[in-house]
Amino acid sequence: MLSPAIRGMRQHFFPALVLSLLSLTLGCGSGSAHTEPAQMVFPAATVPLTKLSSDPYTNSASQHATEVEPDTFAFGSTIVTAFQVGRIHGGGASDIGFATSTDAGTTWNSGFLPGITTFQDGGTFTAASDASVAYDAAHGMWLIASLGLNPPGPAKVLVTRSPDAINWGNPITVTTTGDADKNWIVCDNTSTSQFYGHCYIEWDDVNSGDLVKMNTSADGGLTWGSALSTADGAHGIGGQPLVQPTGKVIVPITGGVFGSMLAFSSNDGGANWSSTVTVSSITDHTEAGGLRSGPLPSAEIDANGTVYVVWADCRFRTNCSSNDLVLSTSADGVTWTKPARIPIDPTTSTVDHFIPGVAVDPATSASSAHLTLTYYYYLVSNCGTVCQMGVAFVSSQDGGQTWSAPVELAGPMITSWLPNTFSGLMVADYISTSYVNGNAFAVFAAAKAPSGSTLDEAMYTTTSPLAAAVDAARFSSRNERPVPHAKSDHGPANFYDLDHEHPIPPKKNP
């Protein structure tokens, strides 16, 4: 018989899986005890969604109608998301789209950034990619960083500015050297910080083996300083810079070509960048279904400056059979907690979790920090060449010590409904969740069955904020330990980038 706490979860958790996937001991400090499901049934998504945008382009190079890889950022009552529109197999998309809500997620306006690609308002690039959103409170300016692509020439980091998050200007070029990839932007919005109004962009130069670079602006993104490397000349990909209330910038990033999670920082407003420290090794599982995914970080910061980093990792699964999502935190960017498994389901389940987007309510902190984590998953990790995929979320009200049961947002969608790339079928390399006025909203790509050769993958958010019931059961993985000698189920990476355009040279024999 179900306990009263578990019975109360039925309306919050996947109804078909309550009995079969979760029987964790509740409360902080508990481990997990669970049974294997007798039959796996993909849950039905019942949460109302709002469609934010869809691909209007018709250029022959893109796979229409597709939108992928959103980022979000919120400030005040405004939340902005930006994403790729019309994904191109060889890299990038027809343009960068955006959607903006100025009333805390109630209503939305959407459009497409001007002047980047030849398909929108006179741009010169043939594709755009890697959108990231920030707000500069000191200058009252919204910023979307992206990549402008003109293969075989080098990709350039661009910044598009708007005072109202609705009307956007033509892009400003940030980088003058290197072949840029995986850019990310943040601004210092603490009025008491001596670097208030500084904005920072991280990117990596794939022509130099993912050499990490940082650019800084102090005038609302109009001009940018020279690209600087870390003190140890670090190589990495997918960094997400964050700014503490003191003005210190901390950048978690995947290093060692996906073999480790690193972090570096600046205490002087971006004039110098420290050497990297190791957050953790990465032990990851390769998703089935030909999906494009990787253990990139999703990072956020609380009111006190604690940094939270989440990534996909299989160290808690026997034989690295699937990925969990793990969390590490730091107060200073130097000392990090050991990765803890986010207890979405038992370690004996068949579920595979990947592409996380974590949010932290910026008005909360420490043991009272509110976190919401959105992610993609397969119900069955070993699902072959064509898989069913869903989107779900979990939340924490105590700084990640305990978590709610998952709630299904979208799915099932079939991987064959997704656009293809050099490195696999794509929903995103990253997704994003943000808090606006204490409420969490996620933006994610969801696919429906194609109509002939035309796909149907668009950007969605939930009509109401993401929230678990106040009295919902909470789960902890505090006593769990990784599998001894856990290792990834794949060999070293063969490419510096996720588009698989820059191969890693073979090691030379001594």
Return the pLDDT at 21: 41
- CB-CB contact of 469 with 5 (8 Å): no
Task: Check: pTM over 0.95? Answer yes or no.
Answer: no
pLDDT digits (tens, 9 = 90+) for 38-78: 345 787 788 999 999 999 999 999 999 999 999 999 999 99
**What pLDDT shows up at residue 508?**
65
Q: Does residue 113 register a pLDDT over 60?
A: yes
Radius of gyration of the chain (CA): 21
Indicate whether 7 pLDDT > 70.
no
Of 174-178, 191-195, 487-491, where does mean pLDDT reach its minimum? 487-491
Nearest in space to 97 (alpha carbons), one of 146, 34, 41: 146
How confident is the model at residue 256, as a pLDDT? Answer: 78
Q: Is the pLDDT of residue 15 over 70?
A: no
Residue 298 CB neighbour total at 10 angstroms: 26
How sure is the predictor about 505, in pLDDT bands with cuts at 50, 70 and 90? confident
Q: Please determine, for residue 413, whether its predicted confidence score (pLDDT) is greater than 60.
A: yes
Q: Are 272 and 243 in contact (CB under 8 A)?
A: no
pLDDT at 509: 58
pLDDT of 28 above 50: no
Cβ-based burial of 506 (10 A; exposed 0-12, middle 13-18, buried ≥19)? exposed
Residue 392 clears pLDDT 80, i.e. is over it = yes
Q: For the residues 192-197, what does the mean pLDDT come to?
A: 98
Top-confidence residue, 500 or 100:
100
Mean of pLDDT values over 413-434: 96
The rounded mean pLDDT for the chain is 91
79, burial (CB in 10 Å: exposed 0-12, middle 13-18, buried 19+): buried
**11-15, 226-230, 250-254, 366-370, range with the lowest pLDDT:** 11-15
CA torsion, points 337, 339, 340, 342, in degrees to nearest 10? 130
Buried b / exposed e across 434-444, counting CB within 10 Å, b at 16+?
bbbeebbbbbb
CB-based contacts of 243: which residues, under 8 Å, 6+ apart? 186, 187, 188, 189, 190, 193, 195, 200, 249, 250, 301
Residue type, 155: A
Q: Which amino acid is at 149?
A: L
- Poorest-pLDDT segment among 6-20, 247-261, 382-396: 6-20
Cα atoms found within 13 Å of the Cα of residue 492, Cβ hemisphere only: 11
Residues paired with residue 444 on neighbouring β-strands, in sequence order: 460
Query: For residue 40, what pLDDT is reported?
Result: 58
Q: How far apart are CA 440 and CA 449, in angstroms?
A: 28
Tens digit of pLDDT for each residue in 218-237?
999 999 999 999 999 999 99
- pLDDT-above-70 percentage for the chain: 91
